[in-house]
Chain A
Amino acid sequence: MVSQLTTSERQYALVTLLLLGLGGLAMAAMGRGDPIAVHGYIVLLFAIGLSFVVMAGYYAPEPDKDRLSRYYDDPTRVGIVLSIAWAVVGMFVGVWVAALLAWPDLTFDQAWASFGRLRPVHTSGVIFGFGGNALIATSFHVLQRTTRARLPGQFAPWFVLLGYNLFCVVAASGYLIGVTQSKEYAEPEWYADIWLVLVWVTYFLIYLRTLARRKEPHIYVANWYYMAFILVVAMLHIVNNIAVPISWSSAKSYSVYSGVQDAMVQWWYGHNAVAFFLTAGFLGMMYYYLPKRAGRPIFSYRLSIISFWGITFFYMWAGSHHLHYTALPQWVQTLGMTFSIMLLVPSWASAGNALATLNGAWHKVRDDATLRFMMVAAVFYGLSTFEGSFMAIRPVNSLSHYTDWTVGHVHAGALGWVAMITFGSIYALVPWMWKREAMYSSRLIEVHFWLALSGTIVYVFAMWNSGIIQGLMWRTYNESGSLTYSFIDSLVAMHPYYIARAFGGLLFLLGAIVAAYNVWMTIRQSKLEAAQGKEDADIPLFARDAVQAGE
């Protein structure tokens, strides 16, 4: 892969890694006794490790000019592999965390293994590690295909992909050693936050520069969504994470916001992280891989327009539905509730647009598990947005908030929508990327599909049950007008559902492992056959010419 970089790009890489390494060294040296030092060493190791990779390929001959007539897909390939690796890790921790609530002593008395520290490893691992890598990988792929332009350079995409993974590693390792800001979905500390800003600005510039070089007059819908994802996440991240470190050599910082204002900022961020990370980004993915795999045109261009702008506008008002009945002034709650209701319309419009696109291709849905992943994802997207809008209604939220119902809703979206669309897209993308006709085994895709679907259903039903029971138990009054159940009563009632959830999650995890194996074997086969000199012979359409359609 280094051999694809020009000499000057290799030099950029080394200089960047040198600077990064020095940064890590400074953190390690200045932060003695503080957890920031651990992160210093991690950064340093990361920089040294990558330097070796670059050095090893440093004297390889320069790539030929010919490359400019092809798309640049190396970062996409690596991104796919990283995404799957994070999926397995993140979901494994998810199953562990689920098991902890059924068998709390599975921490083995280790601080790092306690529920409160592992839970954010799970959430960050799956959302940022699995989801984020998939978004970066697919966005580079989709962007080039729909603009018929090659990425502007070969260094910046690596900076984005690997820099982003450094962020994820620092985040996850931080939670284990107790470094966290406690801001949900924005837990990493100030230095990781600043690093992510650098990465993200580069990501945005790549996007913008590629769009500027495009050979298609119009920007395709998928790119609207990817762009909204990049832009709004940048806005959210920067505003939510403003904090004052106690010193440059300490990991600890204090958020500039406090109390009720902080609550609103955090959930403005948190809700829209769902909207623009877990929704807009993946809608971008769906808008490319679903029509491509189905071989059908998008059902309605106009519907795309109103869904896109509806989502972009309405979502940003809805964050306060996480704060119903709290000390947040009620006027903000009314805004959050009403905009969440209106938000349902563009959400269903997107889901409907996706499903209607399958008209004329339903036989493929039946036979092709890859496409079925995407179809089911669209269904779960519709389901979880309906559920979300319903839960945003104040009286409904009074029951669901604080309970497992929220967790059920989250995973209907996360497993049913985010993970399914990602797996579907990866199954479509991997053969294209590794010049294979198809995945190693379509049987295994089928197996994965059923594991994922049944896992999701078990998980979500368990949590609906436990959540609603929990919520009802907390508010049930007996005839004499006093509370019927104590908190501990509700805790005891949760036990069977926590076991069921762990089981459902295990099924889902097994599916992800099957996917990892299938992808791995596809990649291996590709290499084997390349070695046997059969390269490209009967493999359709690797864009030799960047103007060629087909992938």
Chain B
Amino acid sequence: MKEFFHRKIERNAIGFVVAIVAVASIGGFMEIAPLFTIQETVEEVPDMRTYTPLELAGRNIYIREGCYACHSQMIRTLRDEVERYGPYSLAVESKYDHPMLWGSKRTGPDLARIGEKYSDAWHVAHLINPRDVVPESVMPKYGWLMRNELRIEDLGEHLAAQQTVGVPYTQAMVENAVQDARGQASPDSNAAAGVAERYGEATHVRAFDGDPSRLTEMDALVAYLQILGKLTDKAYQQAATAEAE
């Protein structure tokens, strides 16, 4: 009977195509669609903030350089990872990550909670030549980050596209994107105040690459690294409540 049926379908190209598409669609549909409908998939967190334009630019450099090929940003729910890297990652922490950068290989350590772990100066030295500070390292040198001026004129377009895909940037953020990127890396400039105003007092406003007069790709990347794991405090709060219990 089954044989017979298959013999039939083997003789009908269109039927075969339809059958393949039908059989192959079920799995993905069952696994992906509910992630949008089940509320608890992504935690509700009031203090979750978006990336500033500078941090977003840094994130794009992280993508461009392929750092995700060696670094994960996802602390799994395993004892050793929690003890080594900090509280396990929550879904909400990458809620505004288009695309996510969880990674699949740890040639280098996890970076999900690297924010504020080390100093800006260390990151700069490390990115220029990792082996200057960590002789054992196999990470590439990224000296050009310090040489390249950061491209910022299109940051407004970046934020607008992010808005389109659902990141809650305000119109003011989009309009001031270029200025905010400058301001965040030159703390004494006039532009600096607007950053804290739009993105919150806790935003890091510093000369990330050590030179407030130039806005380099290094500024952006370090600003991004320093915010990793810091967009919301939820994971640490959860860990603290668990400990209290």
Contact = CB atoms under 8 A, between A and B. Distances in A.
Direct contact of A and B (CB under 8 A): yes
Contact of A312 (B24, B81, B103): B24
B135 to A, nearest CB: 10
19 contacts: A104-B130, A105-B141, A114-B141, A116-B140, A181-B63, A183-B99, A219-B16, A227-B16, A235-B25, A253-B161, A259-B94, A259-B96, A260-B91, A302-B3, A305-B6, A327-B89, A474-B80, A483-B83, A488-B136
Contacts of B64: 178-180
Contacts of A273: none
Given A231-B20, A247-B157, A218 B11 contact: yes
A483 B30 CA distance: 39
Interface residues of B, number: 90
Given A247-B154, A319-B31, 6 more contacts: A115-B140, A120-B66, A253-B161, A254-B158, A317-B27, A491-B108
Given A218-B7, A329-B38, A335 B31 contact: yes
Contacts of A263: 94, 100, 102
A228 interface: yes
A258 B100 contact: yes
Interface stretch (B69-77, B118-126, B182-190, B200-208): B69-77
Contacts of A332: 31, 35
A249 B74 CA distance: 33
Contacts of A323: 102
Interface string B2-36: 01001100110110110011011111101110011
Contacts, number: 254
Interface in B159-196: 160-162, 164-167
Contacts of B89: 326-327
A257 B98 contact: yes
Given A247-B157, A258-B166, A104 B140 contact: yes
Interface string A308-344: 0100111111111011111111001001100100000
Contacts of B99: 181-183, 254-255, 257-258, 262, 266
Contacts of A305: 6
Contacts of B66: 114-117, 119-120, 175, 180, 182
B165 A258 contact: yes
Contacts of B157: 246-247, 250
A109 B32 CA distance: 42
Contacts of A178: 64-65
A438 interface: no
B106 A258 contact: no
B27 A313 contact: yes
Interface residues of A, number: 97
Interface in A457-501: 474-475, 477, 483, 487-488, 491-492, 498
Given A117-B65, A219-B16, A402-B106, A109 B141 contact: yes
B137 interface: yes
Contacts of A407: 105
A255 B98 contact: yes
Of the candidates A253, A260, A272, A323, the one having the most CB atoms from chain B within 10 angstroms of its own CB is: A260
Contacts of A50: none
Contacts of A53: none
B98 A258 contact: yes
A411 to B, nearest CB: 13
Contacts of B98: 254-258, 262
Contacts of A114: 65-66, 140-142
B111 to A, nearest CB: 12
Of the candidates B144, B157, B165, the one having the most CB atoms from chain A within 10 angstroms of its own CB is: B165
B165 A487 contact: no
B101 interface: yes
A231 B141 contact: no
Given A211-B13, A219-B16, A492 B136 contact: yes
A208 B95 CA distance: 41
